[in-house]
């Protein structure tokens, strides 16, 4: 949106000056803070979803553990789960540090895999107790040899709020339903978050499927900040095996006017769709201004 374009240019010089003066201090603070605890750095979420119709399907995340002794204090990881609609959290399993290997940074690396059947057993759930619209919250807890534990509840004292090292400890796991086309993605959608701020939460946007494909188009018809709302759209091309999406705008978004255009190409840099619910959660790249989170749900 135009106000972000102006702000980015205005702040650029100040940010560069601030970083040059304070980068050494920030690095020193982060290095000092990280020695007090432990983190589980997310390298990749290998498999993001559970197959709703296959309880043997697994959610898999690839991790790197770091502590004050660069893995020397790492004992195990406890895995917990909870259904989003209520109930109590339950421990699903424990992963021993011995299953990890030494990675390229000299730190323990490995995968944590949890099957839907393991989660259901831990929570005492059976098929029929949940729907495709539900999701599970999976929380990880790193256990050290000295007995200390670190998870999402105490990351603020671990290392710069935890986010600096991509250490959220908690993940949202949705269901996956196999797709043969994009007919699920049709109609009016409600915007839940738009960091670029073309839309406010609650705004309605139209979505249409591309017939005979697993692609759909997010139309710009209701975008009040561009000069070409009636001819532009963002196409989402769904990988039917994973729910991941790629794609981008059919033409540059014009944030100027027909006579004085300010053209910004838009691409989908990462993200996925809810193949059971039709929800959308992606990062849109507005070149050259970087990635901005965008999400919406079917009305």
Task: Return the CATH number at 81.
Answer: 2.60.40.1940
133 and 106 in one domain?
yes
Residue 14 lies in a domain: no
Q: Report CA 126 to chain centroid distance, whole Å.
A: 28
Lookup: tokens for 130:
């949940």
Number of domains in the chain: 2
CB 218, CB 185: distance < 8 Å:
no
* DSSP-based three-state secondary structure for 95: strand
The number of CA neighbours under 13 Å toward the Cβ of 212 is 0
Q: How far is CA 66 from CA 5, 62, 74, 124, 175, in A?
A: 38, 14, 8, 33, 31
**Can you give 37-87 as a three-state secondary structure string?**
CEEEEEEEEEECEEECCCCCCEEEEEEEEEECCCCCCEEEEEEEEEECCCC
Q: Looking at the structure, do residues 123 and 239 belong to the same domain, yes or no?
A: no
Which residues, listed in sequence order, are joined to residue 244 by a DSSP beta bridge?
A: 272
- Check whether residue 159 and residue 252 sit in a common domain: no
200 and 292 housed in the same domain: yes
- Kindly state whether residues 45 and 132 are assigned to the same domain: yes
Q: Quick one: DSSP state of residue 4?
A: H
| Final residue belonging to a domain, choices 176, 203, 229 | 176
Residue 173 to residue 138: CA distance in whole angstroms: 7
Positive or negative, the CA dihedral 9, 194, 247, 188 is negative
**In the numeric block, which tokens belong to residue 124?**
């005492």
Q: 71: how many CB neighbours lie within 10 A of its CB?
A: 20
Which of 144, 176, 208 marks a domain boundary? 176
What pLDDT shows up at residue 18? 47
Largest CA distance in the chain: 68
Please tell me the predicted confidence (pLDDT) of residue 162: 38
pLDDT at 154: 66
Looking at the whole model, is its pTM more than 0.85? Answer: no
Q: Show the domain range for 168.
A: 38-176
Residue 195 lies in a domain: yes
- Strand ranges, E, within the chain: 38-47, 49-51, 58-67, 74-83, 90-96, 101-102, 108-115, 135-144, 149-150, 170-176, 187-194, 204-209, 215-219, 233-238, 245-249, 253-254, 263-264, 266-273, 280-286, 291-298
Which tokens in the block code for residue 108?
A: 């323990």
The series of mean pLDDT values per 10 residues for the chain, 299 residues long, is 51 47 51 66 90 94 95 97 94 98 96 98 94 93 96 57 58 89 97 96 98 97 97 97 93 96 96 91 95 94
Question: What is residue 64's predicted lDDT score, i.e. its pLDDT?
Answer: 96
Enumerate residues 6+ apart whose C-beta is below 8 A from 151. Answer: 139, 140, 141, 142, 169, 170
* C-alpha–C-alpha distance, residues 176 and 173, integer Å: 9
> Which residue matches tokens 């029929």?
128
Given 137, 157, 176, which residue is the final one in a domain? Answer: 176
- Nearby residues of 112 by Cβ (< 8 Å), 6 or more positions away: 60, 61, 63, 77, 79, 95, 140
């Amino acid at each position: 949106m135009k106000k972000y374009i102006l702000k980015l240019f205005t702040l650029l010089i100040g940010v560069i000056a601030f970083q040059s003066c304070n980068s050494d201090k920030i690095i020193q603070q982060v290095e000092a803070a990280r020695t007090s605890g432990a983190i589980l750095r997310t390298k990749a979420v290998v498999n993001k979803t559970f197959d709703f119709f296959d309880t043997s399907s697994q959610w898999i995340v690839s991790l790197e553990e770091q502590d004050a002794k660069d893995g020397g204090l790492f004992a195990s990881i406890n895995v917990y789960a909870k259904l989003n609609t209520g109930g109590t959290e339950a421990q699903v399993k424990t992963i021993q540090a011995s299953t990890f290997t030494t990675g390229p940074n000299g730190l323990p690396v490995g995968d944590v895999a949890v099957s839907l059947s393991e989660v259901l057993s831990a929570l005492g759930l059976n098929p029929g107790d949940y729907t495709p619209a539900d999701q599970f919250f999976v929380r990880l807890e790193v256990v050290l040899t000295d007995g200390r534990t670190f998870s999402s509840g105490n990351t603020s004292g671990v290392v710069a709020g935890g986010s600096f090292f991509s250490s959220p400890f908690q993940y949202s796991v949705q269901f996956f339903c196999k797709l043969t086309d994009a007919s699920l993605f049709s109609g009016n959608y409600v915007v839940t978050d738009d960091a670029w701020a073309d839309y406010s939460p609650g705004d309605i946007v139209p979505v249409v499927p591309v017939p005979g494909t697993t692609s759909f188009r997010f139309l710009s018809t209701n975008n009040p900040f561009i000069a070409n709302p009636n001819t532009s759209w963002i196409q989402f091309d769904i990988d039917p095996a994973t729910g991941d999406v790629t794609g981008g705008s059919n033409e540059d978004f014009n944030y100027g006017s027909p006579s004085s255009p300010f053209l910004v190409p838009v691409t989908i840099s990462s993200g996925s769709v809810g193949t059971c619910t039709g929800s959308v959660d992606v990062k849109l790249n507005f070149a050259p201004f970087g990635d901005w989170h965008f999400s919406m749900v079917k009305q």
